[in-house]
Chains A and B, each alone.
Chain A
Amino acid sequence: MAISENEVNKVAELARLEISADETKQYAGQLSAVLDYVDKLKELPALENAGQGDVIHQTDELRNDTSDGGRYQNEILANAPTRKDNYLSVPAVFND
Chain B
Amino acid sequence: MELHEKSISEINQSLRTKELSVEDVLAYFKARAEKLNPELNAFLGLEIEQPAKIDPSSSAIAGVPFGVKDNIVLEGRETTAASRILKGYKPPYTATVLSKLLSADAIPFGRTNCDEFAMGSSTENSSYGPTLNPWDKSRVPGGSSGGSAAAVAAGLVPYALGSDTGGSIRQPAALTGIVGLKPTYGRVSRYGLLSLASSLDVIGPFTHSVADAALVFEHMAGFDIMDATTVNKEVPSYINALDRGIKGMKIGVPKEYFIQGMQAGVEKAVKDAIQELENLGAEIMEVSLPSSPYGLAAYYVILPVEASSNLSRYDGIKYGLRNNQAESLYDIYTQTRGEGFGREVKRRIMLGTYASSSGYYDAYYKQAIKAREHIRAEFKEIFKQVDCLVTPTAPTTAFKIGEKMNDPLSMYLNDVFAVTANIAGIPAISVPCGFDEGLPVGLQFMAPWFKEETLFQAAGAYESATEWTKQRPNI
Contact = CB atoms under 8 A, between A and B. Distances in A.
Interface of A: 3, 7-8, 11-19, 23, 26-27, 30-31, 33-35, 37-44, 46-47, 49-57, 60-63, 72, 75-76, 78-82, 88, 90-91, 93
A73 to B, nearest CB: 9
Contacts of A31: 347, 350-351, 354
Nearest to A47: B373
Q: Which 10 A-B pairs have the closest CB atoms?
A: A18-B338, A75-B92, A81-B322, A79-B319, A41-B367, A16-B333, A53-B373, A15-B353, A18-B334, A38-B297
B228 A38 contact: no
A35 B348 CA distance: 12
Contacts of B48: none
B229 A57 contact: yes
Contacts of B301: 38, 41
A94 to B, nearest CB: 10
Nearest to A72: B92
Give the dominant DSSP class at B's interface: helix
B409 A37 contact: yes
B371 to A, nearest CB: 5
B356 to A, nearest CB: 10
A17 B335 CA distance: 7
Interface of B: 89-90, 92-93, 184-186, 223, 225-226, 228-229, 231-232, 291, 294, 296-298, 300-301, 308, 312, 315-322, 327-330, 332-335, 337-339, 341, 343, 346-347, 349-351, 353-355, 357, 363-364, 367-368, 370-374, 376-377, 380, 408-409, 412, 425, 449
Contacts of A27: 346-347, 350
A39 B93 CA distance: 41
A78 to B, nearest CB: 7
Contacts of B425: 55-56
Contacts of B93: 72
A18 B230 CA distance: 37
B370 A44 contact: yes
A42 B318 contact: no
Contacts of B321: 81
B354 A3 contact: yes
30 contacts: A3-B354, A12-B350, A15-B337, A16-B330, A16-B333, A16-B334, A17-B337, A23-B343, A26-B343, A27-B346, A30-B408, A33-B408, A34-B409, A35-B354, A37-B300, A38-B300, A38-B355, A38-B368, A40-B294, A41-B370, A42-B363, A44-B294, A47-B377, A50-B373, A52-B373, A57-B186, A61-B225, A61-B228, A81-B316, A81-B322
A56 B449 CA distance: 7
Contacts of A44: 291, 294, 367, 370-371, 374
Contacts of A57: 186, 229, 231
Contacts of B89: 79
Contacts of A42: 363, 367
B374 A47 contact: yes
Given A19-B346, A38-B301, A61-B228, A79 B377 contact: no
Contact of A90 (B225, B300, B329, B373): B329
Given A30-B409, A31-B350, A34-B408, 14 more contacts: A14-B357, A31-B354, A34-B300, A35-B351, A40-B294, A41-B294, A42-B367, A53-B372, A55-B376, A56-B449, A61-B223, A61-B232, A76-B318, A80-B318
A54 B369 CA distance: 12
A93 B312 CA distance: 18
A91 to B, nearest CB: 6
A91 B317 CA distance: 10
B373 A34 contact: no
Nearest to A14: B353
Contacts of B357: 11, 14
A64 to B, nearest CB: 9
A17 B297 contact: no
A57 B328 CA distance: 44
Nearest to B363: A42
B377 A17 contact: no
Contacts of A12: 350
